[in-house]
Structure 1
Amino acid sequence: MSKPINLRAARKARARDAKRAQGDENAAKFGQTKAEKARNKSEQAAQVARLDSHKRDDR
């Protein structure tokens, strides 16, 4: 027979793990320095400009 588990403790541990995962996701998403944000913004603008320059002009 296996050892009984405390369901309350298991539920709290699962909630704690979920909060930690959400925090790690937020840190990756919003935890950027000002220089990284500026670089990402300029790279994105360059990609948009590149896509726009390849559009066909069908009038």
Structure 2
Amino acid sequence: MNLRLARKQRARAAATVRADENRRLFGRNAAQKASDAAERSRLAKTLDGARRNDAPSEPTVE
């Protein structure tokens, strides 16, 4: 197989994958985006609520 054709085919496949990801991320309506943002916020609050306060925030090296 010609290397030039193989490179072009690989580039086309990568572009297709990138296009699919962009369609998934940016091809949504406002309600779906708001729903995702609310879900991320809820998960962040749950995680912060479960965080232990007795653990030091940064390990000390002596």
4+ long deviations beyond 6 Å: none
| Percent identity of equivalent pairs | 43
Question: Shift of the alpha carbon at 1:57?
Answer: 4.4
State how many pairs are aligned: 54
Q: Deviations over 1:30-54 (max 9, x none)?
A: 2222111100111111112222223
Name the structure 2 match of 1:47: 43
1:25 partner letter? E
Name the structure 1 match of 2:14: 18
Q: Deviations over 1:4-47 (max 9, x none)?
A: x2322222111111111111122222222211110011111111
Q: Is the alpha carbon distance of 1:56 and 1:10 closer, same or farther for their aligned partners in structure 2, counting shifts above 3 Å?
A: closer
Q: Output the CA distance in 2 between the equivalents of 1:38 and 1:23.
A: 22
- Further displaced range: 6-15 or 33-42: 6-15
The runs of 5 or more residues in structure 1 that have no matched partner are: none
Q: Secondary structure at the match of 2:23?
A: helix
